[in-house]
Amino acid sequence: MFLPTTKAEMKKLGWNKLDVILVTGDTYIDSSYIGAAVIGKTLFNAGYKVGIIAQPNIDNAEDITRLGEPELFWGVTAGSIDSMVANYTALKKKRRNDDFTPGGENNRRPDRATIVYSNLIKRYFKGGKPIVLGGIEASLRRIAHYDYWSKKIRKSILFDAKADILLYGMGEKTVLELTKAIKNSESIKNIKGICYISKNGEDEIEKTDKYIILPSFESVKQDKIEFIKMFNLFYVNQDPKTAKGLIQKQDTRYLIHNPPQNYLTQSELDEIYNIEYERDVHPFYKKMGKTKALETIKFSITTHRGCYGECNFCAIAVHQGRTIRSRSEESILKEAKEIVGRKDFKGYINDVGGPTANMYQIECLKKENYGSCENKRCLYPKKCKTLTVSHKKQIELLKKLRSLENIKKVFVASGIRYDLILEDKKYGMEYLKEIVEHHVSGQMKIAPEHIEDNTLDKMGKPGKEYLKQFKDKFYELNEKTGKKQFLTYYFIAAHPGTTEKEMKKLKTFVSKELRMNPEQVQIFTPTPMTYSTLMYYTEMNPFTGEKLFVEKDMNKKRKQKDIVVQKGGRR
């Protein structure tokens, strides 16, 4: 079933009032890929009455008042993408299209949607029901952060939105604990995975030895060294097994950042994905036009969460986590069989994967037991010896999926770490052979991002020797299997530490070594809570303290991209 979006739907369910109302910047797609749907269905399965208001008109009361006022709280999210990223390009030009809006026109998601929706609720409801922020925008703006679009340090979004609670990360377990506490009028102060505002700061924490005092908002706003110190403390305190809570003074009050919620166990993760989803846009919104995002996620399957790659420009580490949590093979096959049974299924599963497809069922036992290493990464500069890489379980899973009746093709469209394939001496080539023969069509996408060591070091990415080896192995397998498939490459321009010199070297490399003219070149966008954004703002290498070149001129950023994209370079 769909969660109700109108009073008429509530009436059909026999509901007079809702316990929780979720307000989201995406249209309502009932899918395990959509955060508002997952949280809503998780609460519904726990016995709560939940409704959704998607992309409300912010100029009047019609949409936001449609379901009345909730009994327990409002949940607010900007949607699947930070609203500023959704609305603007890296060069700060307004985007015309939005894949999560019916009709595709980018006209329904306001800038800083989390703040706008919170204010909209406060404008029309004076009952004082708590406003709980969640989703990627809130999660990555939960402490003082650099905002690329306003070029300044902003407070936690909890302060700017004047909301009551912020729920960060993957929030199923947290939202159940929080909802129960609110329903029973219990204290929320010890719930993991939330932030809240306190007038007394550390005085309200029962065990202050479990909390770290971050540099204040005023100090990080004035001093870039203090900002780096704050970010480092924040980053190393995001693993549920090792993290302490954080306290940061912002104006005369304090942000209390509780330790992260414990990761879901495999059985708990299976339970989330075993929920019945409609895999479609709610009829109320479907009549408004086609939603492009549905094409990708309708018949796709998530196999796991998290990523231990820790690329410096990626925020997955502080949102989903640095530890892989995989679903059971049984749960994944069950979902695939449900997809096959749908009348509108045409035989193609669009994707089987996660943030990085080939991390399924691969994790360091030491990390699983004791938490992430504070001063060591799993894959950079080289793969850690403690991490045992084996693609065996994913190979077995893919074979079982494609053997299901009425399945014509199972695609692996999620990102693949080719260095992991090469590091797996026992099953890596067998995995690549499986992918080449059965799970790509025409082209395989990989993301080396760059080839120059100076830039790769700032990105936290492996060297070009992996890329050369992988390219040769890929085309060798294509030749042996009689396939005519190609690699396509994603690169980043204007990343901190990158000059036109590095881009010219990249151009030479792709022309001579890869024998192609790349089209997939993105200009770096500084998004909150990544090390690359920290470099962009401070113009320093946070790991060494050295001064760093950062291209901030918009025309020169575009020129860096043009050097690689244009045939023969920029004329």
Tally the residues of the chain.
571
pLDDT tier at 569, thresholds 50, 70, 90: very low
The pLDDT value given to residue 208: 62
Cis omega before residue 355 (within 30°)? no
Band the pLDDT of 10: cuts 50, 70, 90. very high
Tokens of 76: 């607010």
C-alpha angle 161-320-552 in degrees, rounded to nearest 5:
65
Give pLDDT, residue 407: 97
The answer to whether the beta carbons of residues 401 and 448 sit under 8 Å apart is no
Q: Is the pLDDT of residue 94 over 50?
A: yes
Banded pLDDT at 127 (limits 50, 70, 90)? confident
Is residue 175 over pLDDT 70?
yes
Query: 166: which strand partners?
Result: 133, 195
Residue 34 is predicted with a pLDDT of 98
pLDDT of residue 519: 81
373 is in an annotated binding site: no
Q: What tokens appear for 357 in the block?
A: 């497809």
Identify the sign of the CA torsion 423, 428, 433, 439. negative
> For helices 172-183 and 35-45, what crossing angle results, to 10°?
50
**How much is the pLDDT for 272?**
97
Distance CA 239, CA 195 (A): 16
CA distance 444 to 440: 6
Q: What is the pLDDT of residue 570?
A: 40
Percent of the chain with pLDDT over 90: 95
Under 8 Å CB-to-CB from 74, ≥6 apart: which residues? Answer: 20, 21, 22, 23, 121, 129, 130, 131, 132
Q: Give every CB contact of residue 291 below 8 A, 6+ residues apart in sequence.
A: 27, 29, 99, 100, 101, 102, 104, 281, 285
Task: Give the separation between CA 447 and CA 459, rounded to whole angstroms.
Answer: 12
The pLDDT value recorded for residue 140 is 98
Task: Determine the pLDDT at residue 203.
Answer: 61
Q: What is the pLDDT of residues 503-518, one digit of tens each?
A: 999 999 999 999 888 8
For residue 97, count other CB atoms closer than 10 A to its CB.
11
How far apart (Å, rounded) are the C-alpha atoms in residues 432 and 283? 41
Which amino acid is residue 365, in one-letter code? Answer: L
Is the model's pLDDT at 41 over the cut of 80?
Answer: yes
Other CB atoms within 10 A of residue 107 CB: 11
Q: Are 91 and 523 in contact (CB under 8 A)?
A: yes
Contact 199, 254 (CB under 8 A): yes
Q: What is the pLDDT of residue 209?
A: 74
For residue 567, pLDDT beyond 80: no
H or E element in which residue 74 lies: strand 73-77
Q: Are 152 and 114 in contact (CB under 8 A)?
A: no
Q: Which pLDDT band, with edges at 50, 70 and 90, does 528 fall under?
A: very high
Helical segments of 51-112, H only:
83-87
Q: What is this structure's pTM?
A: 0.96
Q: What is the pLDDT of residue 178?
A: 98
Q: How confident is the model at residue 202 (pLDDT cuts 50, 70, 90)?
A: low
* Orientation of helix 554-565 relative to helix 500-512, angle to 10°: 20
CA angle (175 as vertex; 171, 176 as ends), nearest 5: 125
Select from 362, 346, 444, 355 the least CA-distant residue to 395: 362
CA–CA distance from 490 to each of 416, 519, 521, 561 (Å)? 12, 8, 6, 12
Longest CA–CA separation in the chain, Å: 69
* Cβ atoms of 226 and 219 closer than 8 Å: yes
Q: Helices 329-340 and 392-402 sit at what angle, rounded to 10 degrees?
A: 20
CA angle 18, 21, 25 (to 5 degrees): 155
The C-alpha atoms of residue 86 and residue 111 are separated, in whole angstroms, by 9
Decide: residue 522, CB within 10 A, 0-12 exposed, 13-18 middle, 19+ buried: middle
* Mean pLDDT confidence for 189-212: 82
Mean pLDDT score of the chain, rounded to an integer? 96
Rg of the Cα atoms in the chain: 24
Query: Rounded mean pLDDT of 37-62?
Result: 98
Structure confidence at residue 571 (pLDDT) = 31
Q: What pLDDT, on the 0 to 100 scale, is given for residue 128?
A: 87
Closest by alpha carbon to 24, among 129, 98, 134? 134
Report the C-alpha gap between 415 and 441 in whole angstroms. Answer: 15
Q: From the centroid of its chain, how far is CA 144?
A: 19
CA-CA distance, 348 to 345, in Å (whole number)?
A: 7
